[in-house]
Amino acid sequence: MVAHVEEVCVAASHQGKGLGLIIIQALNATAKDLGVGKLILNCSDKNVKFYEKCGYSTAGQQMELKYNSS
């Protein structure tokens, strides 16, 4: 099973307090408990180093096509 995390956000006023790490650790633990074999997430270029510190590695590029939902 593969899990996909679309977005993880921490409000600017709360960044630098370790909340992102807590969220990622909870996601990782939940995925492991559910038997997920791979966890994929999208991140901006500025957050790559953070996710690498959390054990993630770059795995190619993802493409998308969004449709107007209205």
The residue extents of the domains of the chain are 2-53
pTM for this prediction: 0.77
pLDDT at 69 over 80: no
Confidence of residue 42 (pLDDT cuts 50, 70, 90): confident
**The predicted structure's pLDDT at residue 65:** 86
Task: List own/partner pairs for 37-45 with CB under 8 A and 24 or more apart.
Answer: 37/1, 37/2, 38/2, 38/3, 39/2, 39/3, 39/4, 39/5, 40/2, 40/3, 40/4, 40/5, 41/4, 41/5, 41/6, 41/8, 42/5, 42/6, 42/7, 43/8
What does the pLDDT look like over 1-34, one tens digit per residue?
A: 999 998 899 999 999 999 999 999 999 999 999 9
**The predicted structure's pLDDT at residue 32:** 95
